[in-house]
Structure 1
Amino acid sequence: IDLSLLFIEEDIDKKMALDVAKYLIVYLRRSGGQSQFSPLLESQAAENSVVASVHSYILGNPEARHTLESISEHLNMSPRNLTRIFKKECGMTPMNYVNDARIDFARRYLESTDMGYKDIAQRCGLESAEALRRIFVRRLGITPLEYREHFRSSNEDIELN
C-alpha cells in the first residue's frame, strides 16, 4: 500500500495520494514501524446476529457511554454470554468493538470539522479530551492532533453518517 501511495504521489500529486490513503484509511506513507489501522468495519454477520444488534445499537447512539453492562442489558443477555457470542462471531470483545466505533466517529469529526477535542470526545461517548487522546494513541499510535494534521479535509466537507 505504501509503495502504491508513493507512486500515486509521484505520478499524480500529493492530494490524490492523500485522498486514496483516506479512502483506504491508512496513514499517508507510514513509517516502517507504524501499524495499519482501519475504521469500524461493517458487520458481515446475519441481520439477526448479536454482532449486527450491537453494531446497530452503537451506531444509533454514538454519544452514549457504552459499557459491557449497558449493551448486554439492551440485548437482554448476560455480559458473559454477550462477550462469548460476540467474540466467536466477530473475533473481538464487544468493548474493543465499541472503542473501534468511537475512534471511527472521532476520525470523521477530526477530518471534517474544527470542533474541539472535548466536544468530539463527548459526541463519541468518551468522558474527556484526554480519554480521546489515550484511546487514539493506544489504537492508532498517533494523537488526535497528528491525525487531524494529516487527514484534515481542506477543500471539502466530509458528510458524517
Structure 2
Amino acid sequence: MSRRRMAVVGYDTAELLDIACVTTTLVMANHLGTPARPYEVVVAAPGGGPIVCGSGLTLHSQQSLERLVGPLDTLIVSGGVGFEQAAADPRLLGHVRRLAKESRRVASVCTGAAILAAAGLLDGHRATTHWRFASQLAARHPEVTVDASPIYIRDGDVSTAAGITSALDLTLAFIEEDHGAELARQVARDLVTYLQRPGNQAQMSLFTAVPPPRDDLVRRVVDHVAGHPDGDLRTAALAALVSVTPRHLTRLFVEHLGQTPGRFVRQARTEAAAHLLASTTLPLASVAAKCGFGSAETLRQAFTGRYGIPPSRYREAHGARPARR
C-alpha cells in the first residue's frame, strides 16, 4: 500500500503547537479511517537532533533534514520564535528548496512563511502568516502578496497557515482534499474542534457559533459573509445567493446560530474591523469601507456597542507593532 509521505520541518525554538497540530491531525486520520493511502508522518530537523521548542519542551526529531529525500506528498515548515534564525540559515533554506522540488504540496505554519519566503518559494504567491508578523513579512519580501486576514491561504500547490492553531484548519483541508469530507469531519469531531473554519475567515475572528456541518446552506452564507464583509450582505441578497426566501433564511439562522442574518452580518463586520485595527495602520474611514460600514461614525457606533470601547482605543491597545529590522 502506497503512503502519503508528510514531512514537518522543525528547528531550534520552533513552536511545538505548530508541529503537533499537523502531526496529531494526520495520525488521527489514519486511526479513524481506512484511507487507501494513509499518511506517513516524519518530523525532520537539522542534523536529526532534538528540537528544543520555544516552550522549553524537547521534541525528538525522526529524521535528519540533510538526509531526508523525496518524493514527498507534502512538505510543511513550522514557525516559532526561532524563525528569523532559521530563515537566515542558508543550509536550512537549501534543503527546504531541495525538498520543495520533490514535493506535491508545500506549506508553512505561522511564521514558517518567512522561511518559505526566504527560500524563494512564495515569490509571486499570495500568502498569510501570524497577524503580528504580517507587516514584517510584507516589508522584507515585496515579491510576496501578504494577506494578514485569512486563517490559511491555498495558492496552487503552495499553502500558508496563519497563527499557530490555524495549522489544524489547514491540515483538515488537506485531509478533505486527500480522503474526502467525511473523514475530515470525523477527525474534527475527535479533536473537539470546529469543523473547518473557512480559510478566508479572519485570524482575529471572535465567532463562537458555527453552523452544524449538516446545514450546508447556512455554512455557505456564513462563509460568504466572512469573505466579503464589504459586499451587499442584506438579508434579501444573502437569501438570493442560496436561492431561498429571506424569511426562510432568517428562520434557518435563528435555528442554527441563534440570531438573525442582519445581526450576524453586523457582528462579522465588527470583528473584521477589529482585525484590521489590530493588524494594519489603515485610517478608520478605510477600515469602515473595507468592512462594509457606511462611515467611520457608523463603525464607531457598532464597535462601541460590541466591544465597549471606540475603535481608536482598541487600536491603541492592540495595534500592529512596527516591523523589526
User: Shared fold by TM > 0.5?
Assistant: yes
Query: 1:58 offset after TM fit, Å?
Result: 0.9
Where does residue 232 of structure 2 map in the other structure?
65
Moved more, 83-92 or 147-156: 147-156
Change (3 A) 1:91 1:156: farther
Indicate yes or no: 2:278 matched with 1:111. yes
1:68 and 1:95 in contact (8 A); partners too: yes
Q: Given the two structures, how large is their TM-score scaled by the length of structure 1? A: 0.68
Q: How big is the alpha-carbon RMSD for the aligned residues of Structure 1 and Structure 2? A: 2.4
Change (3 A) 1:142 1:152: same
Where does residue 89 of structure 1 map in the other structure?
256
Q: Which has the higher contact order (CA 8 A, sep 6+)?
A: 1
- Aligned pairs for 1:4-43 (under 5 A) are 39-41=206-208, 43=210
Deviation per CA, 1:79-112, whole angstroms, max 9, x where unpaired? 1111111110111111111111101110111001
SS at match of 2:281: coil
Greater helix content: 1
Larger Rg: 2
SS at match of 1:46: coil
Change (3 A) 1:88 1:156: farther
1:39 and 1:103 in contact (8 A); partners too: no
SS at match of 2:212: coil
Paired residue type of 1:76: S
Indicate yes or no: 2:304 matched with 1:143. no
SS at match of 1:109: helix
Query: 1:48 offset after TM fit, Å?
Result: 4.5
C-alpha separation between the residues in 1 aligned to 2:272 and 2:323? 18
Consecutive unaligned residues in structure 1, runs of 5 or more: 1-18, 20-37
Paired residue type of 1:144: P
Greater strand content: 2
Pick from 278, 282, 289 the counterpart of residue 122 of structure 1.
289
Consecutive aligned runs of 4 or more in structure 1 exceeding 4 Å deviation: none
Q: Given the two structures, how large is their TM-score scaled by the length of structure 2? A: 0.35
Change (3 A) 1:77 1:153: same
C-alpha separation between the residues in 2 aligned to 1:56 and 1:83? 16
Deviation per CA, 1:6-61, whole angstroms, max 9, x where unpaired? xxxxxxxxxxxxx9xxxxxxxxxxxxxxxxxx723462421643321111111222
Where does residue 11 of structure 1 map in the other structure?
none
User: How many residues are matched?
Assistant: 122
Change (3 A) 1:118 1:146: same
1:40 and 1:97 in contact (8 A); partners too: no
1:43 and 1:51 in contact (8 A); partners too: no
1:86 and 1:94 in contact (8 A); partners too: yes
Consecutive unaligned residues in structure 2, runs of 5 or more: 1-131, 133-204
SS at match of 1:39: coil
| Percent of residue pairs bearing the same amino acid type | 31
